[in-house]
C-alpha cells in the first residue's frame, strides 16, 4: 500500500516534501514508508534526500506523570484541608512520589512541611502534566519549560529521520517485476524474449567461505574459559613456556631433591641453562624456609643451593605461573582478593603412549582470599564441575608438596557407571604463601586437571596421539564442529563410548 501510494502521488505531483507528514495524512506506518523509499531509490524510481529534525520525547517517568499527574500535585491532593502528620502522608504515597513531591511542592510554596503538613494555597494547577501532554501531542513548548522538564529527566531529545522524495530517472507509476533467473519454463514458453532481467551487483559480497574449523582442544578450551569467567575468574598470563626451577619448584616449597625435578621427568635447557633474574629478598626467605623451616614448619633440613634454583626448564605445570601471580599480588597494598585461572601447555619428559604425551595442556583455578577453608574449596569445586555436567563428586586425601590438605577429585561417570578421577586440588601451604609476603590470614585454594583427556572422552577419541600431534586427522575437525557444549557425563553416556575399553582406560587415567 505504501509503494502504491508513493508512486501514485508522484504521478500527479513533483515532490513529497516530508515523508512523515505524507504517512500521517494517509494513515501509513512511517517505517514502512521509509523502507519503500529506500527500495525505490535503489532502483532509481525516485530520488530521496534525508530530513532530520530534533524532537522531544517523554521518558518512562514523564509518561507516568502525564497519565497520573506530577508528584507535587499527587502530594498536594493527598493533604486534607485540616493538614496531615508527615508520617501518615508518607504512608499514603509511593516513596519516590513522596520524596520528589515534597521537594517540588515546597519549592512551589504550595505546602508547609512541618510535623503537620498543611496547604499554603487552596487551588493549584498541574503545569508539569499539561506541558508533558503538549509535548506528547507534538505542540510547541517554551524553551524555559523545556529546560525545566529536561533537568527533571522527564523528556529526552530524539532525532527524527525522514525523506523528501521526487521522481527518479526510472520513474514509473508501477514497479516492473524483473527476473533474476532464466528458467526452463521461460525458454519453453518463449517468455525469455520479453523478460527484463535484474542487473548484476558486482560489488555485493558472496557467501562466506568455510575455510576452517576450530580444533577440538581449542573448542573445549574456549568453553572452559567461558565457565571460569562466569564464575568471576580472570585469566593469568601464561606466555612463558621457559621457566626457572625457582618458580617451577622452589617457590612452591618443593625440595630440590624431589624426584620430579630429576632430568627423567623434566626438560632442562642447554642454552640459556640458567637465569639471573630472581627477586633477591624473596629468594633468601625461600632458602630459609627450605633449610630450617618457619611459619610453624620444620622445613626440609637440607643445604638449599641457588645453583639448582637458577636452572632453566620447560615448565612442568602452570602452577609456576600461579606462584608468580601470588608473589605480585603480595606486593599490592592493601591486599585485594583475587580469582585466577589458566589453560595452557606444559611439558614433562614422559614416555609417549595412547594416554600420555610429553606436552599437554593443564587447566588450573586459584582463589586467594582471607579466611578460606577446605569447605570453600569443596564448594567451588562443586560449582565448577557441575558446569561441566559432573554433579556427583567425591574427594580422596592425597599428598602434594605445596598443598596441605590435598584432595584428589572423583566424579561418578554415568556412561561407565563408576567413579573416575577428574582432577587434583588443595590449599597452598603457609611455607609457600607467607615468604611471598601475603597476610597471615590469607589462604589460597587451587585445583587442576588436564585439557586433553576430557576432550578425548567428549569426542570419543581413544588415543591421545590422534588428538594432539602429527597423527591428528583433519577430518576430525569436521566431525566435531557441530558437537554440543562440553558435558562429559552426557556425552560419555553414548553407547559407543560406554562400550569402548580404550575410552575406559582414558577415563581411569583422567
Residue with cell 595442556: 361
Secondary structure (3-state) at 420: strand
Question: Do residues 426 and 436 make contact, with C-beta atoms less than 8 angstroms apart?
Answer: no
Question: Is the domain 217-491 a CATH 3.30.930.10 member?
Answer: yes
Q: Closest Cα partner for 354 from 485, 130, 504, 243?
A: 504
pLDDT < 70 stretches in the chain: 210-211, 263-264, 355, 415-416, 469, 474-510
Question: Strand 234-235 to strand 338-347: parallel, antiparallel, or no bridges (unpaired)?
Answer: parallel
Q: Closest Cα partner for 374 from 464, 282, 446?
A: 446
**pTM, rounded to two decimals:** 0.54
Q: What is the pLDDT of residues 7-42, one digit of tens each?
A: 888 888 888 888 888 888 888 888 999 999 998 888
The DSSP result for 15-58, as a single string, is EE--HHHHHHHHT--HHHHHHHHHHHHHTTSEEEEEEEEEEEEE
The whole-angstrom separation of Cα 468 and Cα 475 is: 14
Q: Closest Cα partner for 54 from 151, 153, 140?
A: 140
* CB atoms inside a 10 Å sphere around CB 156: 13
The whole-angstrom separation of Cα 262 and Cα 465 is: 25
C-alpha grid cell for residue 464? 591421545
pLDDT given for residue 502 in this prediction:
36
Q: Closest Cα partner for 486 from 212, 222, 213?
A: 222
Q: Closest Cα partner for 37 from 27, 25, 26, 49?
A: 49
pLDDT given for residue 506 in this prediction:
33
Q: Closest Cα partner for 38 from 158, 165, 159, 160?
A: 165
* Beta-bridge partners for 397: 407
Where in the chain are the domains? Answer: 1-58+157-178, 73-125, 217-491
Residue 322 burial (C-beta neighbours within 10 Å; 0-12, 13-18, 19+): buried
Residue 141 burial (C-beta neighbours within 10 Å; 0-12, 13-18, 19+): middle
Alpha helices in 341-461 (DSSP H): 374-386, 430-433, 452-459
Q: Which residues contact 327 (CB under 8 A, 6 or more apart)?
A: 251, 279, 282, 436, 437
The DSSP result for 193-213, as a single string, is GT--BPPP-TTS--PPP----
Residue with cell 517517568: 61
Q: What is the pLDDT of residues 451-465, one digit of tens each?
A: 887 777 777 777 777
Phi and psi for 349 in degrees, rounded to 5? -80, 75
Question: Do residues 400 and 429 make contact, with C-beta atoms less than 8 angstroms apart?
Answer: no
Question: What's the CATH architecture for 73-125?
Answer: Orthogonal Bundle (1.10)
The whole-angstrom separation of Cα 431 and Cα 254 is: 10
66-70-73-79 Cα dihedral, nearest 10 degrees:
120
The whole-angstrom separation of Cα 6 and Cα 165 is: 9
CATH T-level assignment (fold) for domain 1-58+157-178: Ribosomal Protein S8; Chain: A, domain 1 (3.30.1370)
pLDDT given for residue 481 in this prediction:
60
Cα distances (angstroms) measured from residue 502 to each of 161, 302, 410, 456, 508: 66, 44, 19, 11, 10
Sign of the CA dihedral 462, 468, 474, 479? Answer: positive
pLDDT given for residue 25 in this prediction:
87
Amino acid at each position: 500500500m505504501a509503494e502504491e501510494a508513493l508512486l501514485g502521488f508522484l504521478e500527479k505531483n513533483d515532490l513529497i516534501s516530508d515523508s512523515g507528514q505524507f504517512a500521517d495524512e494517509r494513515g501509513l506506518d512511517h517505517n514502512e514508508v521509509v523502507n519503500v523509499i529506500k527500495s525505490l531509490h535503489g532502483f532509481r524510481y525516485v530520488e530521496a534526500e534525508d530530513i532530520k529534525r530534533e524532537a522531544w520525547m517523554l521518558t518512562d517517568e514523564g509518561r507516568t506523570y502525564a497519565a497520573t499527574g506530577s508528584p507535587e500535585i499527587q502530594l498536594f491532593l493527598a493533604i486534607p484541608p485540616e493538614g496531615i502528620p508527615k508520617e501518615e502522608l508518607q504512608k499514603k504515597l509511593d516513596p519516590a512520589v513522596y520524596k520528589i513531591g515534597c521537594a517540588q511542592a515546597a519549592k512551589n510554596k504550595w505546602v508547609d512541611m512541618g510535623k503537620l503538613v498543611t496547604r499554603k494555597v487552596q487551588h493549584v494547577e498541574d503545569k508539569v502534566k499539561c506541558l508533558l501532554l503538549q509535548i506528547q501531542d507534538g505542540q510547541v513548548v517554551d524553551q524555559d519549560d523545556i529546560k525545566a522538564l529536561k533537568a527533571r529527566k522527564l523528556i529526552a531529545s530524539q532525532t527524527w529521520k525522514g525523506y523528501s522524495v521526487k521522481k527518479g530517472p526510472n520513474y514509473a507509476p508501477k514497479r516492473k517485476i524483473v527476473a533474476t533467473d532464466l528458467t526452463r519454463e521461460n525458454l519453453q514458453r518463449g517468455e525469455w524474449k520479453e523478460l527484463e532481467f535484474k542487473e548484476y551487483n558486482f560489488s555485493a559480497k558472496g557467501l562466506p567461505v568455510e575455510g576452517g574449523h576450530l580444533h577440538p582442544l581449542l573448542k573445549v578450551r574456549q568453553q572452559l574459559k567461558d565457565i571460569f569467567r562466569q564464575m568471576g575468574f580472570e585469566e593469568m598470563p601464561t606466555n612463558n613456556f621457559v621457566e626457572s626451577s625457582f618458580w617451577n619448584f622452589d617457590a612452591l616449597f618443593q625440595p630440590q631433591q624431589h624426584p620430579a625435578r630429576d632430568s627423567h621427568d623434566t626438560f632442562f635447557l642447554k642454552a640459556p641453562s640458567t637465569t639471573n633474574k630472581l627477586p633477591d629478598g624473596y629468594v633468601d626467605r625461600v632458602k630459609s624456609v627450605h633449610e630450617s623451616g618457619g611459619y610453624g614448619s620444620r622445613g626440609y633440613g637440607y643445604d638449599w643451593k641457588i645453583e639448582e634454583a637458577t636452572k632453566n626448564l620447560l615448565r612442568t605445570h602452570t602452577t609456576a605461573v600461579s606462584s608468580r601471580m601470588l608473589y605480585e599480588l603480595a606486593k599490592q597494598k592493601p591486599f585485594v582478593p583475587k580469582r585466577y585461572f589458566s589453560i595452557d601447555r606444559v611439558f614433562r619428559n614422559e614416555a609417549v603412549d595412547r594416554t600420555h604425551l610429553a606436552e599437554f595442556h593443564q587447566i588450573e583455578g586459584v582463589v586467594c582470599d582471607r579466611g578460606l577453608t577446605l569447605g570453600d574449596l569443596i564448594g567451588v569445586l562443586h560449582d565448577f564441575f557441575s558446569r561441566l555436567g559432573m554433579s556427583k563428586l567425591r574427594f580422596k586425601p592425597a599428598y602434594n608438596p605445596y598443598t596441605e590438605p590435598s584432595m584428589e577429585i572423583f566424579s561418578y561417570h554415568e556412561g561407565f557407571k563408576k567413579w573416575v578421577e577428574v582432577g587434583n586440588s588443595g590449599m597452598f601451604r603457609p611455607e609457600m604463601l607467607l615468604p611471598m609476603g601475603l597476610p597471615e590470614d590469607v589462604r589460597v585454594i587451587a585445583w587442576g586437571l588436564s585439557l586433553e583427556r576430557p576432550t578425548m572422552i567428549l569426542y570419543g577419541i581413544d588415543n591421545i596421539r590422534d588428538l594432539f600431534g602429527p597423527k591428528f586427522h583433519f577430518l576430525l575437525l569436521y566431525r566435531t564442529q557441530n558437537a554440543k557444549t562440553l558435558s562429559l557425563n552426557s556425552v560419555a553416556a553414548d553407547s559407543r563410548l560406554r562400550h569402548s575399553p580404550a575410552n575406559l582406560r582414558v577415563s581411569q587415567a583422567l
